[in-house]
Amino acid sequence: MEGLATAAGHEDRHEPLKSYCKGLLLPGERKSIEPMAARLDPEHTQRTRQSLHHLVAKAPWSDEALLERVRQHVLPTMRRQGPVVAWIVDDTGFPKKGKHSVGVTRQYCGQVGKQENCRVAVSLSVATWSSSLPIAYRLYLPQEWAEDAKRRDKVEVPPEIAFQTKPEIALDQIRLATAANLDRGVILADCAYGNNAEFRDGITQLGLQYVVGVQSSITVWGPGQQPLPPKPRQRMGRPPRLLQRSQEHQPVSVKHLAMSLPAHSFRDVTWREGTNQKLQSRFVATRVRPAHRDYEKAEPYAEEWLLIEWPRGEAEPTKYWLSTLPANTTLKALVKLAKQRWIIERDYQELKQELGLGHFEGRNWRGFHHHATLCIAAYGFLVAERNRFSPSARAGHLGFVVPRPAPDFRPRGSPRTS
């Protein structure tokens, strides 16, 4: 906490920052400022509330500097249990009523699984096989917000923030992580990012590999195929340089390719132990070339992996991934990395349910990001503590005895006694 406090700059912010993180870690249904102030200092609630509010909504400390300090403290503890294997891109939605809080509009919200009035933030996390930590976090500002000067001014959106798509935000986060010389991992993302050819190209240009989800409609050239070469040179004019397609020579959707593969090519693969059983499904991997607008290119895309999941009992494949992992990568290694995105779901579950990531009630840009940064700091503390113990200890295999609760302890959800 001392290290985090100094990263916040001015000494007046040190104690409020420690109190805010403590409030996030303590029990309590709501982790917004008012109820945290009441729990932290019941006798001086109003003064504590004002202090916490100023820290989060007004004080101009750097989210990036604080997240860097969290990263410096937590990543070494994570690496004690194993190396960094992945950088995971994801976004999360926060349902929100009204129209005045920064970034709120009607858009897809993963938390409810449909279009909803909400705001969405994009994150980048660093992951080992056993734990992960968000290292970058930014609100997606819809175009209607980005182009509305009056609304921007009211919620104090910085002037340098322009409209960016979610894949563009994620790619910027990856560039900054690369520039910081972090231990590199394979980029993992779902089809909202993997469908975007510019996002995939940007990762490759940074010298990174990826395993990203794609939709069934994305087109590829099947094994051993590629677009036609440019037209022959004519006597006059510049030589043609663009690749071609013909009516008979066209790429196919990944679904069409998957359905054409023989059933015996799919293999059962177990990728990890679940809560109650081993997680297993049927997969096949084949080498393909992406076909996105390659008729505008002079060279075809390089070959990469198409990974397909077709569970037993399903009428058709359920998931697809493209990957730039080496050609000698085994099927099990491909599957294990593709499925490692599960760990970010656990992160968001704990950040939201235990640490109040979605509980910030303010409307401005700074407050939204400051609150999220402090939630990540609190989560980083938990990640570091877990990684102090061996995997068997964390799984509860060493016979540790849970202390008996105090007499007035009441588990959440249990009835009160008279």
pLDDT in tens, 272-310: 887 788 999 999 999 999 999 998 898 999 999 999 999
Chain centroid to CA 374: how far?
17
- Specify the pLDDT at position 119: 94
- Specify the pLDDT at position 227: 93
Gap between the Cα atoms of 340 and 342, Å rounded: 5
Gap between the Cα atoms of 239 and 367, Å rounded: 57
Q: Are strands 319-323 and 210-214 parallel, antiparallel or unpaired?
A: antiparallel
Q: Report pTM.
A: 0.89
- Specify the pLDDT at position 392: 52
Per-residue pLDDT of the chain (418 residues; tens, 9 = 90+): 777 877 887 788 899 999 999 999 999 989 999 999 999 999 999 999 999 999 999 999 999 999 999 999 999 999 999 999 999 999 999 998 888 999 999 998 888 888 999 999 999 999 999 999 999 999 999 999 999 999 999 999 999 999 999 999 999 999 999 999 999 999 999 999 999 999 999 999 999 999 999 999 999 999 999 999 988 877 666 777 889 899 899 999 999 999 999 999 999 999 988 778 899 999 999 999 999 999 889 899 999 999 999 999 999 999 999 999 999 999 999 999 999 999 999 999 999 999 999 999 889 999 999 999 999 999 999 999 998 876 654 544 444 444 444 444 444 444 444 3
Gap between the Cα atoms of 23 and 5, Å rounded: 15
Residue among 340, 382, 362, 372 nearest 92 (CA)? 372
| DSSP assignment letter at 10 | S
End-to-end CA distance of the chain: 40
Query: 352-380 pLDDT, tens per residue?
Result: 999 999 999 889 999 999 999 999 999 99
Residue among 150, 147, 123 nearest 137 (CA)? 123
- Specify the pLDDT at position 2: 77
